[in-house]
Structure 1
Amino acid sequence: MPAIPARILPTIVVSQFASTSLWFAGNAVIPDLQHNAGLPASAVGHITIAVQLGFIAGTLVFAWLAIADRFSPRIIFLLSALAGAAANAATLASGGELLPLLAARFAAGFFLAGIYPVGMKIASGWYDRDLGLALGWLVGALVLGTALPHLIRGLGGDLPWQAVILAVSAVSVAGGLAMFLLVPDGPHLRAGAGFDPTVLATIFRSAEFRGSAFGYFGHMWELYAFYAFVPMLLAARLGADSASVSVWSFAAIAAGFLGCMGGGYLSRLIGNARVAFVQLSASGLCCLVSPLAFLAPLPVFLAFLLFWGMVVAGDSPQFSTLNARFAPPAYVGSALTIANCIGFATTIVSIGILGWLIHVVGPRYAFLMLAPGPALGLAALRRLATKPA
């Protein structure tokens, strides 16, 4: 087998990072929209849910039509990056009105379904034996991309929110072009299994797949709710008008890159399930102690958020690997699509509840409601984590 060109993995990682920056572009500028356009405080939850709904819809459409199997995935990645960038730029046309803004965020989420999962398919075309480690890099890139809009806003000084949105769209286009121009289809690229939603009961008969899938659902309950509302937690401690809120939001989310990479290398020694179990345990503990951490000295509080950000995302590539490994061989495509959709559906519920609780009890105590997700996920994952690596 010819050696893999050295540019392949870095290009895939950078492209994934650049194009997934669309995910939280709306969240990064929501304080400006609330100030300038009078959007309600609840808008942050609404626009996050719109992106999640768009991603679920896009995942189902892409899977149902087998788009990434019928066409070159690098072309799908490019077209999705271009369309997602356009949908993101359409935020400017909303004029700060909530319904057009939600429509633009839904469209961005829809086209992210042609970026995040398709990027993993492109990687699987090049990496076979080391796919688990490659996924660690890719999910880490997703985490950094998710955090990037906060960094652009935080370092932009008086940069208007419209410029932040356009900058994110430009970064997404650059990522799509890099993937298309520098990463040809890999030697291991193969057609995926077709999508059949009628096999829902069949795929969950496997005890191993149930363990990994329900562990993943518990992980997802916490992950995107943390991403959506960590700026509000920081604003409550640093001050709502503090320029450092965006920078520290970036840092807390981006710390997940270290968790993904560290977990990827550690999984070679102790196995994917054990790494996922340890990191999910740590993030669940962070949920429980978050009220106390909020009162800690500021350096301790910020260090706590960095650690939480590292472990809350670090188990993502482990769950991706476990779900792919234990999916019934005849229904791999359907199993992964259904697990993905259920996982993102749980984020809609947790984001809605957490957003409501923040306005009822305040950010100090609201994050306690995320703890049941990791707890239930750990219960489901325990059997796999205790098996020999």
Structure 2
Amino acid sequence: MRGTKFLEVSLITVCQLLALSLWFSATAVLPQLRSEFHLGALQSSLFTSSVVMGFILGTLTSAFLGLADRLDPRRFFALCSLVAGCANILILVVPVDGVVVIFLRLLTGMCMAGIYPIGMKMVATWARGDTGFLVGLLVGALTLGSALPHLFSVALPLDWRLVMVSASCSAWLAALGVLLVKLGGTPGRSPRFDPRVVGHIIADKPLRYAGYGYFGHMWELYAMWGWTGLFLFRTYQERGLENASVWAALTTFAIVGIGALGSLLGGIFADRWGRTTITISAMGISGFCALITGALAGAPLPVLVGVCLIWGISVVADSAQFSSCVIELAEPEHVGTALTLQNAVGFFIALISIHLVPLVADMAGWWASFAMLAVGPVMGVIAMARLRAMPEARKLAQGRR
């Protein structure tokens, strides 16, 4: 049984990473696109942010229609991977500096709503007292995938067309692979469409506080991932470091990539010590790092990079545990919808903080912009502490709050 579980969870993780390459590839090729097609700041930002906006739209639609619980998760995942791969490869035949390419990126993001939360739901069917670790494994793969474009930009300066074709082929391979997945149990399914389900989920107080914790986490996570590289690049430039862009990319890869280890360790410890224990601890550490990182621009490089690495571990160590809370607190037949709804609101919040960081940095410096992100962990700690005090928290991690 353990061998079968390991094989199936590994297959789900690989399929998700292959499908999400469509998201990661945009970051890797954007510098080439800007250079070749002379893209302006607006078009460049839309090329990446339209995927996030599409994901938000897709998750809201999926949550309202209850698709994550009413459809077979493997077929839903496969269909979304297939459509997303087609939308991505069509970029090769449309003007890159036009409106159509933004629509295609938006469609790709919408399809991600049938991949990321659905992968979590499929993994959850194999959970036997180790939900935190299994979901942590999935989020760890996502984290590593998010870090890889920083490495590729230095080590593999491939033609952007080849990258896009490879990403689409990866998504199609994921669509085939996920159909071979066996589930660890029968996932809960809604017998019919009921838009009131979303209202019931929102009205569920323990689920709501788990969501508040996740929203605080998302306020910090993607903004930190998105802007640490530029912060380090400018810091290295001011120090007169040769090849500042290369060193910034490599350092950012390490900072984001080490979060995969944080996600795995967070899952292991949360299963043993409790979900709220780990989320509160991780947000306390990451919030402190957010407060001091910007002020360390002039500190010795080992100190600056060391704090950034701690931030990279702690900022994502709690991520999977919010999803694990939803899996354990929600009604079995509504788990997929609850996960999808949580993702929708969380990524909308992340989109706001991502755009605020550079504005605040220009007006008040990097310390202020990063310190602003600490608001999220503070609010998250409060929310998870309140969840911990509820009797329903005994459902978490087999009674380990």
User: Shorter-chain TM-score: which interval?
Assistant: 0.7 to 0.9
**Who is 2:303 aligned against?**
300
3-state secondary structure, aligned to 1:127: coil
Matched with 1:235 is: 233
Cα displacement (A) at 1:317: 0.9
Which aligned pairs between 1:109-124 and structure 2 lie closer than 5 A?
109-124=109-124
Q: Is 1:135 matched with 2:138?
A: no
**What is the TM-score when the length of structure 2 is the normalising length?**
0.85
Question: Take 1:268 and 1:101, find their aligned partners in 2: how far apart are those partners?
Answer: 43
Q: Summarize the alignment of residues 256-271 of structure 1 with structure 2, pairs less than 5 Å apart.
A: 256-271=259-274
> What letter is aligned with 2:235?
R
Match of 1:170?
169
Over 3 Å counting, the alpha-carbon distance change for 1:77 and 1:222 in structure 2 is same
Which range moves more in the overlay, 128-137 or 61-70?
Answer: 61-70
Residue aligning to 1:384: 387
Q: Tell me how far 1:68 sits from its aligned partner.
A: 4.5
Cα shift at 1:265: 0.9
Identical columns (%): 35
Shift of 1:44: 5.5
Q: Does 1:46 align with 2:49?
A: no
Q: Distance in 2 between matches of 1:243 and 1:162?
A: 23
Aligned partners of 2:281 and 2:192: how far apart in 1? 34
The total of aligned residue pairs comes to 387
Query: Is the contact made by 1:193 and 1:331 (CA closer than 8 Å) also made in structure 2?
Result: no
Q: 1:108 to 1:272 in 2, by over 3 A?
A: same
1:86–1:310: structure 2 CA closer, same or farther, 3 Å change rule?
farther
Q: Which residue of 2 aligns with 1:160?
A: 159
Q: CA deviation at 1:188?
A: 3.4
Measured in 2, the distance between the counterparts of 1:90 and 1:246 equals 29
Query: What residue is the counterpart of 1:60 in the other structure?
Result: 60
**Structure 2 unaligned spans of 5+:** 238-242, 391-399
Which one of the candidate residues 335, 343, 348 is aligned to 2:346? 343
5 Å matches for 1:1-389?
4-41=4-41, 45-93=45-93, 95-97=95-97, 99-157=99-157, 159-181=158-180, 183-192=181-190, 196-198=194-196, 202-239=200-237, 242-327=245-330, 332-361=335-364, 363=366, 365-385=368-388, 389=401
Shift of 1:319: 0.6
Q: Pairwise CA RMSD of aligned residues?
A: 3.0
Q: Taking structure 1 as reference, are residues 2 and 356 closer, same or farther at Cα in structure 2, changes over 3 Å only?
A: closer
Q: CA deviation at 1:57?
A: 1.7
Contact 2:139 2:263 in 1 (8 A): yes
Provide, for residues 177-213 of structure 1, a one-character-per-residue CA deviation record: whole Å limited to 9, x for no partner: 33333x2344333325877554666544444223211
* Cα distance, 1:356 vs structure 2: 2.8
CA deviation profile, 1:141-170 (whole Å, cap 9, x unmatched)? 12122223333333204x233333333333
Q: Which ranges in structure 1 are unaligned for 5 or more consecutive residues?
A: none
TM-score by length of 1: 0.87
Amino acid of the structure 1 residue aligned with 2:216? G
CA contact (8 A) 1:89 1:166 kept: yes
How far does residue 298 in structure 1 lie from its aligned partner after superposition? Answer: 2.7
| Structure 1 position 307, deviation (Å) | 2.0
Contact 2:357 2:369 in 1 (8 A): yes
Q: 1:230 to 1:192 in 2, by over 3 A?
A: farther
**Mean Cα displacement is larger for which, 358-367 or 98-107?**
358-367
